[in-house]
Structure 1
Amino acid sequence: MLGHSHAMSGLAAGAATLPWAGQVGVTGPVEQIAWVAAWGGFAMLPDLDQGGIHWRGVMPSATGSTVARMWGPITTTLASVVGKIAGGHRQGTHDLLLAPAIFGLLTVLASHDPWASMAVIALGIGLALQALHVVIPGKVEQTVIGNLVISVAGAWWVTGTANHALEWLPYAVAGGVVVHILGDWLTVGGVPVPLTWVGGHSVRLSASLFKTGAKPEHVLATMFGIAAIVLVVVFSPLQGYVVPVIQPVLTSAHTSP
C-alpha cells in the first residue's frame, strides 16, 4: 500500500481504540489526539526497510521510501541499517509476529527516558505529516528541515503537556506496525509468513485484493480517512463540542413538517 493509505488506516485504527486507550495510560485530550496520530504515523514504520544514500555525480542523494527520505541523512542511514538487518523490503519489518514485538520492545526501552520518548514521538509525527501531505496545504512538511522542526516541536508539546512517562507509546507503535502489515497483506505483493524471511527465502501470504496504488486502494484509503474523523469525534472530547452544535440542527430537521 502507499504511504497515505497506511497512515489513513492507522489513524482509523487509533481512533477506533480510543475507548480502551485509557487502560494503557492515555489521559486528557492532548494525549488522545497524540494516540491517534501515533497510530497513523507508526503505520508507516515498517517501510523503514528500504533506503540509503547514493551518489549521483558529486552530490549525495537520499533514496528509498518516504520514511527513509524524511529527515535526510538521519533516516536514510537508519533505513539502510534496518533494511540490511531485515533482509530487504517487505521481509523482517513485515513479519506479523516479530516486527510489532521488536518495534514495541525498542519503544518500551525508549519510554523510560524523556528524551528518547520525545524522539520516538517526533518520528511518529514526522511520518504522519509525510504520509498525509496529500491533504495538507503547502509543502513545508515534505522538506527535511520543515518536517523535523514541526515534528520536534509537536513532540516537545506532547511530552511537556503529559508531565509523566508515556506508557501508551509502545502500544501505539506496535499497533501501527500491525496495521501496516495487514494493509500490505491485502495487496498482490503480500507479506512473509512469520520467520520464513530468515535466510532470504520467504513464503508469502497475500489476500491479492489489489495492486499497490490501484483504484481500490484509493477508495479504501478515503474510507479509512472518513472513519478516522468520525471515530475521533465520537470517542474523544471533541464530541462535547460537536454534538451541542449539531444537535439543534438535527432536532429542527426531525420536527419540521
Structure 2
Amino acid sequence: MMGRTHALSGLALFTAGTYPLHLPADQIAIGAVVCAGAAVLPDIDHHGSNIARTFGPITRGFAWTIGKMSGGHRNGTHSALGVGLVAALVFLSSSVYTRDLITLQIGCGITAAMLVVGVLIGLLPTKGKGRRAYKERWHGFVSIIVCAMAATAIAVSCYRYGHQAGAFLVGGILVLVLAAAIRPLAIKGIWDDLAPIPIAFVALWYHVDLSVMPYAIVIGVVIHIVGDMITLGGCPIGWPWSQTMFGPKWFKTGSRIERRIVAPILVAVLGLGVVVHVYPELSDRARTFRASSLQR
C-alpha cells in the first residue's frame, strides 16, 4: 500500500477498534495519531520512502542501515520477528520511562509470541522459500552483531541513566512516529517535519500520559504488514527462516482499487469510529442540559 493509505488505515482501525475498551478521550487521540505513524513505520527499510525523507540525511542513512540489516524492502521489517523487535524496543523504552515493570513484562510476552509465530510459519512446508534473506551470508552475521551491540548500548544506558534514558528513547520514538503520521498530509514547507519535535518535547516536559504509545505502535506495525499482505507483493511473515511471501495479494500498490475502494472504506471506518466515541458523550451532555432546563 501507499504511505497515506497505511497512515489512514492505522488512524481508522485504531479509532474504531478501541471502542469496546472505553479508553479516555486523550488516550484515544494519542493512540490514533501514534498508530497512524506506526502504520507507516515498517517502510523505514527503504531509503526512498516518505518516512526516510523526513529528516534528510539522518533518516535516509538510518533507513539505508535498516534496509541492509533487514535484507531489503519488505523483508525483515515486514515479518513476525520484526514486530517482535519493535515491541521489545518500544515496551522497554516505555517501561523505563514510566518505571512500570508490568509494561516490560507485556512487551517481553509480545516479543516471545512473535518469535514463536515467526519460527512456526518459517517451518511451514511451502513450494518455495522465496528470495534469500540476504544477498550475502555475511550480511546476516553483521546484522546480528549490530543488533546485539545496539541492544547492549540501550540496556547499559537504561541501567545507568534510568528514567532519563527512557525519556530520551520515548522522545525519539515519538518524534519518528509523529513525523510519519504528519508527512502524508503534504504540508508545504518544513513544518510537517519540524512539528513533531516541539510536540514530543511538550509531551515529555508536561508528563503527558503516553502509556498507550507502545500498544499503538505495535498495532500500527501489524496493520501495515496486513495491508501489504493484501497487495500483490505479500509479506515474508516467517523471515528469516522462510522468505515465502504470504497474503491474499488482491491488488497492486497504488492501483484504482486502493484509491477508489480501500481508501473510501477506511474513511468510512474512521468516521464511524469517531461517531461511536463522540455520540455517548454528546448524548450525556444533551440529557444533562435537558434535565437542568426542566429544573428551572
TM-score by length of 1: 0.75
Aligned to 1:178: 222
Cα deviation for residue 202 of structure 1 reads 1.6
Where do 1:31-50 residues align within 5 Å?
31-50=27-46
Aligned to 1:106: 89
Q: Does 1:226 align with 2:268?
A: yes
Aligned to 2:181: 128
* Conservation of the 8 A alpha-carbon contact between 2:183 and 2:193: no
Q: 1: distance between equivalents of 2:170 and 2:256?
A: 37
| Cα pair distance change 1:32/1:157, threshold 3 Å | farther
Cα deviation for residue 162 of structure 1 reads 4.6
* Conservation of the 8 A alpha-carbon contact between 1:8 and 1:40: yes
Aligned to 2:60: 76
Cα deviation for residue 14 of structure 1 reads 1.1
Pick the aligned partner of 1:147 from 187, 192, 195.
192
Where do 1:172-251 residues align within 5 Å?
172-195=216-239, 197=240, 202-218=243-259, 219-235=261-277, 240-241=281-282
> How many pairs are equivalent?
215
Aligned CA RMSD, in angstroms, stands at 2.4
Q: 2: distance between equivalents of 1:229 and 1:159?
A: 30
Cα deviation for residue 215 of structure 1 reads 0.7
Letter in 2 for 1:7: A
| Cα pair distance change 1:178/1:71, threshold 3 Å | same
Q: Which has the larger radius of gyration?
A: 2
* Alignment deviations for residues 134-156 of structure 1 (CA, whole Å, 9 cap, x no partner): xxxx423xx3xx23321112223
Q: 1: distance between equivalents of 2:272 and 2:204?
A: 26
* Alignment deviations for residues 130-186 of structure 1 (CA, whole Å, 9 cap, x no partner): 1233xxxx423xx3xx2332111222343445545x332221111101000000000
**Of Structure 1 and Structure 2, which has the larger fraction of its residues in helix?**
2
* Alignment deviations for residues 112-141 of structure 1 (CA, whole Å, 9 cap, x no partner): 2123212212211111111233xxxx423x
Cα deviation for residue 66 of structure 1 reads 0.7
SS at match of 2:195: helix
Identity among equivalent pairs (%): 31
* Conservation of the 8 A alpha-carbon contact between 1:99 and 1:177: no
**Of Structure 1 and Structure 2, which has the larger fraction of its residues in strand?**
1
Letter in 2 for 1:130: R
TM-score by length of 2: 0.66
* Structure 2 stretches lacking a partner, 5+ long: 97-165, 287-296
* Alignment deviations for residues 190-238 of structure 1 (CA, whole Å, 9 cap, x no partner): 111412x45xx72111312110000111121222123113203322x57
Higher RCO (C-alpha 8 Å, min separation 6)? 2
Q: 1: distance between equivalents of 2:65 and 2:87?
A: 18
* Conservation of the 8 A alpha-carbon contact between 1:233 and 1:242: no
Letter in 1 for 2:235: V
